[in-house]
């Protein structure tokens, strides 16, 4: 039976479908966690000396213990009972305390008194802020319809507003941090395996014999337990192949660093697949039993030879061959890392499909040292709403794309705001996401923000996007509130925990449940959010799985369950696809006139005189949200510009000198220090994302370093998902007021066109 697109998404389980109610079945709990050594058993009672909770300095959500003295949080540590991070936190996790006590925090509700973008505000009361917001949203809804109200959201704090938007039947909500992150990857894997690789990615690195990373730069990209597994794998003797135009922290640990021409990864993947098939290095039993379309795949990639790929990727054919042979030799105990941030070139779903296909033919799925399986722990459930979800016949803007992840691609909402098509968007509610730096082509986002009838921003610090809001609501931090109950299932030992406050909310900040409930009531939905507060909601959820806050705290703030990481005789392979098999050839894609097997589609090369602008992570910061943190700022307050040493020599630029970048639209950046290094190709430069904030209210971060996001001028969308690509922008350098044409140190292959200015 063929699937329509909608049924595919439903089957894939990634729509906001109702969750099954579970009780903890007998025997499911893993060996009980010993009782914690809490000074006082009751977290949330503010006299307690230690409180367990969940980190949100990034959304990996490591488990925490906070030490409190005289009502002040004095130290954060990893929760020793955590089966994932144990006692360890990363630098950002440790520094959460400096977010809590950041003097620049949003303290009171405010209204705009200057023009949008100016950041001139006046303190108002909560009543005035909520009433003004509701009046505006109700008025706009009456004049232009529900669909004219858009929600931009991210993170734990949006776990109430996002379902609310859904509940009232408004399709116009976007999570830029999903679309512009892993959205296309998840769709690529769902189309192949009927399953996404999860979060954390289910890569069995500690048990593997070989890891293959394309762009993934673990060590700079930090997730405590993921990095621990990676290091454990290396210590256990696993080999590492890193494909990256830059000598990343992972490349530094690699057995093979393949310095690929940016944008050509799909060619490399297809050549690997072809070589592995032609030389019989694939898992014949797995392919025969569990996949469809192998013959079509074999035919489709037959011309993707080593020499063809070498020309495109600039990786010597011998290295492509050698690494393909290594994969064949060590399969199936090979981690083909699915990556996380994949919004690269606009053909990212197809590249993710190619990764998934490579992982499949090597037989790595559900195998020790490959890609382990999602667990099925009990799922706590308690309804946030007393009424049924409202039926909606509104036309979702996302229908323009064949397989969008849930919600609307961010660009769809920006376009509709700017053009009024397919219908006007008149108001944005921005909740926990930096719309200015996170979505490429910021000049368009800013233009859209200026055009809107009403903008609400809910945040904890006066970050870039708050400058454009009419009303700003101060949310308390993750250390001052209850949130929902979390269950980790993309881990080998699944576990459950809950976020609980360590101290009372400071100033007039309020928690997300309270704010959402207040807004819902004022918008005429008093049947939503029936609980007194987020604590009661957490209790109800825990009750549904025979737990309570008290029981959980007795267990040290975490309960673990049994996982099922690998296929076994009792747990044989099964795939949630249309025919129950791994789709090497995708009929769903064919039905949508998309390539059913990935093909190499070149992304335009830099125009003459320019290089490609690349960006990524630093271990001590998370996007823009931590730049104002005084400890983390002290660690790394600015970014630098990685420039190839030979290029630097030709341009006469020395290490540590300052230059500006100019993008292909002629927009110039602030000065940035150059890091001259052989560790980056000549055809690109690299900066860390998250710097160069525009808000002067952030006294630590204001105008420190240079923003990649504000330098991205171009708007290239993945045709499958509608996600924006980030690596399609070009810059040249300006030194002492003089524009420097970037030299070309190698030929451009005939198969790759140049970007037309």
Binding site for ligand MGD (CB under 6 A): 56, 58, 154-155, 157, 176-177, 180-181, 214-217, 221-223, 243-246, 248, 260, 262-263, 265, 339-341, 344, 431-434, 437-438, 458-461, 463, 475, 478, 614-617, 619, 621-625, 686, 689, 708-709, 712, 726-727
CB-wise, 112 or 492, nearer to ligand SF4? 492
Long-range contacts made by residues 227-230, C-beta under 8 angstroms, separation at least 24?
A: 228/85, 228/88, 229/203, 229/204, 229/205, 230/205, 230/206
Would residue 556 be called left, alpha or beta, if left means φ above 0 and alpha means ψ between -120 and 50 degrees? left
> Rounded to the nearest whole angstrom, what is the least distance from the CB of residue 527 to ligand MGD in the complex?
24
Q: Which of 149, 161, 181, 276 binds Mo ion (CB under 5 A)?
A: 181
CB contact at 8 A, 201 and 490: yes
H or E, element range at 631: helix 630-635
> Rounded to the nearest whole angstrom, what is the least distance from the CB of residue 736 to ligand SF4 in the complex?
40
CB contact at 8 A, 726 and 732: no
Decide if residue 488 touches ligand SF4 (CB under 6 A).
no
**Crossing angle for the helix pair 126-144 and 512-522, nearest 10 degrees?**
50
* The entry of ligand SF4, Mo ion, ligand MGD, none that residue 224 binds, CB within 5 to 8 Å by partner kind: ligand SF4
Question: Distance between terminal CA atoms of the chain?
Answer: 47
CB-wise, 263 or 596, nearer to ligand MGD? 263
> Rounded to the nearest whole angstrom, what is the least distance from the CB of residue 181 to Mo ion in the complex?
3
* The entry of ligand SF4, Mo ion, ligand MGD, none that residue 640 binds, CB within 5 to 8 Å by partner kind: none
> Rounded to the nearest whole angstrom, what is the least distance from the CB of residue 165 to ligand MGD in the complex?
15
CB-wise, 301 or 457, nearer to ligand MGD? 457
- Beta bridge mates, 693: 702
Site string for ligand SF4, 46-65 (x = CB under 6 A): ---------x-xx-xxx---
* The entry of ligand MGD, Mo ion, ligand SF4, none that residue 292 binds, CB within 5 to 8 Å by partner kind: none
d(CA 65, CA 43): 10
∠ CA 391-523-467, rounded to 5°:
110
CB-wise, 495 or 642, nearer to ligand MGD? 642
CB-wise, 220 or 744, nearer to ligand SF4? 220
* The entry of ligand SF4, Mo ion, ligand MGD, none that residue 615 binds, CB within 5 to 8 Å by partner kind: ligand MGD
DSSP result, 509-525: -B-HHHHHHHHHHHTT-
CB contact at 8 A, 710 and 586: no
> Rounded to the nearest whole angstrom, what is the least distance from the CB of residue 395 to Mo ion in the complex?
29
> Rounded to the nearest whole angstrom, what is the least distance from the CB of residue 61 to ligand SF4 in the complex?
5
CB contact at 8 A, 189 and 450: no
Among residues 718, 728, 727, 591, which one has the least CA distance to residue 183? Answer: 718
CB-wise, 408 or 636, nearer to ligand SF4? 636
Decide if residue 627 touches ligand SF4 (CB under 6 A).
no
* The entry of Mo ion, ligand SF4, ligand MGD, none that residue 353 binds, CB within 5 to 8 Å by partner kind: none
Query: What residues have CB less than 8 Å from 333, skipping those under 6 apart?
Result: 207, 208, 209, 210, 364, 367, 368, 369, 370
* The entry of ligand SF4, ligand MGD, Mo ion, none that residue 431 binds, CB within 5 to 8 Å by partner kind: ligand MGD
> Rounded to the nearest whole angstrom, what is the least distance from the CB of residue 59 to ligand SF4 in the complex?
7
Q: What are the distances in angstroms from CA 436 to CA 60, 449, 550, 710? A: 23, 9, 42, 8
Q: Which residue has the CB atom at the shortest distance from ligand SF4? A: 93
Q: Which stretch binds Mo ion (CB under 5 A): 10-18, 19-27, 335-343, 391-399?
A: 335-343
CB contact at 8 A, 415 and 390: no
Query: What residues have CB less than 8 Å from 255, skipping those under 6 apart?
Result: 239, 240, 241
Decide if residue 38 touches ligand SF4 (CB under 6 A).
no
CB-wise, 186 or 283, nearer to ligand MGD? 186
CB-wise, 81 or 246, nearer to ligand MGD? 246
Helix H segments across 406-491?
410-419, 435-438, 442-451
CB contact at 8 A, 273 and 248: no
Q: Which stretch binds Mo ion (CB under 5 A): 336-344, 382-390, 425-433, 561-569?
A: 336-344
> Rounded to the nearest whole angstrom, what is the least distance from the CB of residue 54 to ligand SF4 in the complex?
8
> Rounded to the nearest whole angstrom, what is the least distance from the CB of residue 206 to ligand SF4 in the complex?
17
> Rounded to the nearest whole angstrom, what is the least distance from the CB of residue 442 to ligand MGD in the complex?
8
b/e for 266-278, b at 16 or more Cβ within 10 A? bbbbbbbbbbbbe
> Rounded to the nearest whole angstrom, what is the least distance from the CB of residue 648 to ligand MGD in the complex?
18
* The entry of ligand MGD, ligand SF4, Mo ion, none that residue 62 binds, CB within 5 to 8 Å by partner kind: ligand SF4
> Rounded to the nearest whole angstrom, what is the least distance from the CB of residue 248 to ligand SF4 in the complex?
18
Number of residues that bind Mo ion (CB under 5 A): 2
d(CA 343, CA 179): 8
* The entry of Mo ion, ligand SF4, ligand MGD, none that residue 109 binds, CB within 5 to 8 Å by partner kind: none
CB contact at 8 A, 60 and 228: no
CB contact at 8 A, 555 and 31: no
**Crossing angle for the helix pair 317-330 and 265-278, nearest 10 degrees?**
60
Which residues 213-242 are close enough to bind ligand SF4 by CB under 6 A?
222-224
Which residues 70-109 are close enough to bind ligand SF4 by CB under 6 A?
89-90, 92-93
CB-wise, 93 or 405, nearer to ligand SF4? 93
How far from the centroid of its chain's Cα atoms is residue 556's Cα?
29
Residues in the site for ligand SF4, rule: CB under 6 A?
55, 57-58, 60-62, 89-90, 92-93, 222-224
Residues in the site for Mo ion, rule: CB under 5 A?
181, 341
């Amino acid at each position: 039976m063929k699937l329509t697109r909608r049924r595919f998404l439903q089957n894939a389980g990634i729509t906001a479908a109702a969750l099954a109610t579970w009780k903890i079945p007998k025997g499911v709990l893993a060996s009980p966690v010993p009782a914690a050594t809490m000074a006082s058993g009751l977290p949330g009672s503010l006299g307690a000396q230690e409180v367990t909770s969940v980190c949100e300095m990034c959304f990996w959500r490591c488990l925490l213990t906070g030490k409190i003295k005289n009502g002040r949080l004095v130290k954060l540590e990893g929760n020793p009972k955590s089966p994932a991070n144990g006692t360890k936190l990363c630098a950002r996790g440790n520094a959460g305390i400096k977010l809590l006590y950041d003097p620049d925090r949003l303290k009171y509700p405010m209204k705009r008194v200057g023009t949008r973008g100016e950041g001139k505000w006046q303190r108002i009361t909560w009543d005035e802020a909520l009433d003004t917001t509701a009046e505006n949203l109700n008025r706009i809804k009456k004049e232009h319809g529900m669909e004219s109200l858009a929600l931009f959201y991210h993170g734990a704090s949006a776990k109430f507003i996002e379902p609310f938007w859904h509940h009232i039947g408004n399709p116009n909500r976007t999570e830029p941090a999903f679309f512009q992150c892993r959205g296309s990857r998840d769709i690529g894997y769902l189309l192949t395996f009927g399953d996404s690789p999860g979060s954390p990615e289910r890569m069995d690195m500690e048990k593997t014999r070989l890891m293959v990373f394309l762009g993934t730069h673990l060590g700079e990209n930090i997730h405590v337990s993921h990095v621990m597994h990676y290091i454990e794998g290396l210590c256990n003797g696993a080999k590492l192949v890193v494909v990256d135009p830059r000598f990343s922290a992972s490349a530094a640990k690699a057995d093979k660093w393949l310095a690929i021409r940016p944008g050509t990864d799909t060619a490399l993947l297809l050549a690997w697949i072809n070589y592995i098939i032609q030389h019989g290095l694939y898992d014949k039993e797995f392919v025969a039993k569990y996949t469809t379309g192998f013959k079509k795949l074999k035919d489709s990639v037959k011309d993707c030879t080593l020499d063809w790929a070498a020309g495109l990727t600039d990786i010597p054919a011998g290295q492509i061959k050698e690494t393909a042979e290594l994969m064949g030799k060590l399969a199936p105990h090979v981690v083909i890392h699915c990556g996380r941030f994949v919004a690269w070139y606009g053909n990212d779903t197809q590249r993710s499909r190619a990764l998934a296909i490579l992982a499949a033919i090597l037989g790595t799925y559900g195998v020790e040292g490959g890609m382990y399986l999602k667990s099925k722990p009990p799922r706590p459930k308690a309804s946030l709403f007393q009424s049924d979800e409202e039926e909606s016949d509104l036309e979702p803007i996302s229908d323009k794309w064949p397989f969008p992840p849930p919600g609307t691609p961010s660009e769809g909402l920006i376009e509709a705001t700017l053009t009024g098509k397919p219908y006007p968007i008149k108001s944005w509610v921005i909740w926990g996401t930096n719309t200015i730096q996170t979505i490429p082509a910021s000049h368009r986002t800013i233009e859209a923000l200026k055009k809107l009838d009403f903008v609400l921003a809910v945040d904890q610090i006066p970050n870039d996007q708050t400058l454009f809001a009419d009303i700003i609501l101060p949310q308390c931090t993750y250390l001052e509130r209850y949130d929902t109950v979390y269950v980790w299932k993309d881990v080998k030992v699944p576990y459950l925990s809950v976020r609980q406050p360590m101290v009372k909310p400071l100033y007039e900040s309020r928690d997300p449940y309270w704010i959402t409930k207040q807004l819902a009531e004022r918008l005429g939905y008093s049947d939503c959010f029936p609980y007194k507060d987020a604590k009661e909601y957490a209790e109800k959820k825990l009750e549904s799985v025979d737990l309570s806050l008290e029981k959980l705290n007795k267990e040290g703030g975490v309960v673990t369950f049994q996982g099922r990481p690998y296929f076994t005789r009792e747990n044989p392979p099964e795939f949630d696809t249309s025919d129950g098999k791994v789709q090497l050839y995708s009929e769903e894609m064919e039905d949508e006139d998309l390539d059913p097997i990935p093909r190499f589609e070149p992304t335009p090369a830099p125009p003459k005189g320019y290089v490609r602008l690349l960006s990524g992570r630093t271990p001590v910061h998370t996007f823009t949200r931590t730049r104002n943190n005084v400890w983390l700022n002290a660690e790394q307050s600015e970014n630098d510009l990685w420039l190839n040493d030979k290029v630097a020599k030709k341009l006469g630029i020395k290490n540590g000198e300052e230059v500006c970048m100019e993008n292909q639209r002629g927009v110039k950046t602030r000065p940035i220090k150059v890091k001259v290094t052989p560790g980056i190709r000549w055809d690109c430069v690299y900066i860390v994302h998250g710097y160069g904030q525009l808000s002067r209210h952030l006294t630590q971060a204001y105008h420190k370093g240079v923003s990649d996001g504000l330098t991205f001028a171009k708007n290239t969308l993945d045709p499958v998902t509608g996600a924006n690509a980030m690596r399609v922008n070009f810059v040249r350098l300006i030194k002492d007021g003089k524009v420097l044409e970037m030299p070309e140190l190698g030929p451009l292959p005939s198969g790759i066109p140049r970007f037309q200015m």
